[in-house]
Structure 1
Amino acid sequence: MLRVIRIFRLFRINAYYDSMNVITEVLESKKQQLLSSVFIILTLMISSSLCMYSLEHEAQPEIFSNAFSGIWWSASTLLTVGYGDIYPITPLGKVFGILITFLGVGMVAIPTGIISAGFVEQYTRLKNIGEYGSEQDVSFISVKVTAPDPWIGSEIRSLGLPRGMLIAAIHRGKEAVIPRGNIRIRPGDSVFMYTRRRVGDYDLVPEERPKEN
């Protein structure tokens, strides 16, 4: 494992961190749909194993010896692998196997479609943000508020931000706070702002000048 990590460093895997972060965000946003599809696949797998046992037990008692002995067959069939070490020999078993094979193609396509749709949504959102920023000349600024910053304890409406600069969100620990006017800034808050001009265009007091990340 340590050698694999060193190989990753050799290929500068950190350069692709943003792309990997996109993958993580897609999986996180589609977590419920993916869990639902996995549950459906497991349910179909167990059901097909029980049905195949009832159809093939008398013809192949040494292979389908109990109700769950067909799990390996159902997994390889539903996931379109089909090793061929376990297969039905009765006419009804073969017909049922064909049906499960068709269902397996659809079952594999469900999580694939969910992940593909998540990537399309994510890249569309990033593209829209980039196009909006380039068209409107928008700059995004992230400010980490730490003591003894003069913003600590102040309400958002009393910060006296320059014209054209607005607070988009406040990240407080693991919580995202909606920036209402009566919200007070706390130590450790990350304030995300956007503006239509560069930070250097503002005449701010040096202690209050936001730091661009």
Structure 2
Amino acid sequence: MKKKRIFEIIQIGRDTDILSRIFDFTIVTAISANLVLTIYSTFDSSIDYAGIIHTVEMATVILFTIEYGLRIWTANYLYPNTSKSRAIFKYAFSFTGLVDFLSFFPFYLPFFFPDGAVAFRIFRVVRILRLFRINQYYDSLNVITDVLKNKKQQLISSVFIIFVLMTAASLVMYNFEHAAQPDVFTNAFSGFWWAASSLLTVGYGDIYPITLAGKLFGIVITFLGVGMVAIPTGILSAGFVEQLTTVQEPNSIQYCPHCGKKLL
């Protein structure tokens, strides 16, 4: 089978490409099965099925490893305008490539470093990244990724504004409350925790103002928090509308059969 055909199969398949659709279904099924067993392994009853769980995990990890190798091998088709080595580098260090790599690599660590098997258990948490791989196989999920990419600058700006406001609020609240609650508002970082929980409308209640000035300032920050959360929400909402309009618009445009001009 030609290298280009392998690339077409491992990419998101068209409805007419049976082999590619079968490959997509196999990968999604493997990811889903692996995550279900990962969750089930946290239950005490899973001890009786430890052998089956390990076997399924090993089979899926081998499948992910083979897929990653094929993607590395065919990376020059993914980035046709670059050299082969550059294409491999771009894929390997892209978000998708890193997720693909981390979806199987931690499984092999205990084999190479048996003395650190216990310490490497913490790396098992990265298996949750396999969920992101499902995103590649569904266009409806890709819309979310496209919106985040298109609105990246606006989102970064809004997060920066929130961070500046949180910093200012933490310093002000520290000055209001430190004298009255030296054990609670011990430093500016204590105020930062309060500002984060208040501005993000969580309000855990583990740290709160007791002075009159602190309470009045807390009311102001709570009102501002509602607005701060609404900023990125509005940006994402507008992005979804724009993305859906862009996707649907080409299908709704009609052209004159004689002159080829767009019809209103």
Name the TM tier (shorter chain): 0.5 to 0.7
What residue number does 1:57 align with? 178
Alignment of 1:10-29 (within 5 A): 13=134, 17-29=138-150
Could you tell me which of 189, 202, 210 is aligned with 1:68? 189
Structure-1 separation of matches of 2:162 and 2:30? 33
Deviation at 1:82, TM superposition (A): 0.2
Q: 1:29 to 1:107 in 2, by over 3 A?
A: same
Q: How far apart are residue 67 of structure 1 and its match? A: 2.3
Equivalent residues of 1:64, 1:70 under 8 A apart: yes
For the residue of structure 2 that corresponds to 1:130, the secondary structure is helix
- Report the RMSD for the aligned CA atoms in angstroms: 3.1
Unaligned 5+ residue runs, structure 1?
139-163, 166-213
Residue 103 of structure 1 is matched in structure 2 by 224
**TM-score, with structure 1 as normaliser:** 0.57
CA distance in 2, matches of 1:91, 1:19: 50
Distance 1:28 1:15 in 2: 15
Which residue matches 2:105? none
Deviation at 1:68, TM superposition (A): 2.3
CA deviations over 1:26-53 (Å, ceiling 9, x no partner): 1111000000000000111111000000
Question: Counterpart of 1:20 in structure 2: which amino acid?
Answer: L
Local SS of the residue matching 1:81: coil
User: How many angstroms apart in 2 are the aligned matches of 1:20 and 1:5?
Assistant: 18
Per residue, is there more strand in 1 or in 2?
1
Q: Give 1:112 shift.
A: 0.3
- How many aligned residue pairs are there? 136
Give CA-to-partner distance per residue, 1:76-101, whole Å, 9 cap, x none.
00000001010000000000000000
Asked if the contact 1:88–1:94 (Cα under 8 Å) also holds between the matched residues in 2, the reply is yes
Runs ≥4 residues deviating over 4 A: 8-11, 13-16
CA distance in 1, matches of 2:33, 2:146: 21
Counterpart among 31, 52, 69 of residue 6 in structure 1: 31
Find the aligned partners of 2:238 and 2:135 in 1 and give their Cα distance.
Answer: 26
1:118 corresponds in structure 2 to 239
- What is the one-letter code of the residue matched to 1:47? A
Q: 1:17 Cα shift?
A: 1.4
Question: Which SS does the other structure have where 1:85 is aligned?
Answer: coil
Distance 1:73 1:14, change over 3 A: closer
Return the letter of the residue paired with 1:136: Y
Matches within 5 A, 1:37-186: 37-132=158-253, 135-136=254-255
Identical-pair percentage: 64
Q: Secondary structure at the match of 2:183?
A: coil
Deviation of 1:65 (Å): 1.1
So what's the TM-score if we normalise by structure 2? 0.47
The answer to whether the 8 Å contact 1:46/1:68 transfers is no
Maintained 8 Å contact 1:56/1:90: yes
For 1:32 and 1:77, the matched residues in 2 are separated by: 25
Structure 2, unaligned stretches of length 5 or more?
A: 1-28, 37-133
Which string of whole-angstrom CA distances, capped at 9 and with x for unpartnered residues, describes residues 134-188 of structure 1? Answer: x3399xxxxxxxxxxxxxxxxxxxxxxxxx99xxxxxxxxxxxxxxxxxxxxxxx
Relative to structure 1, the CA distance from residue 77 to residue 5 in structure 2 (aligned partners, 3 Å threshold; closer, same or farther) is: farther
Measure the CA separation in 2 of the matches of 1:39 and 1:125.
29
Q: Give, as a single letter, the amino acid of the residue that structure 1 aligns with 2:202.
A: V
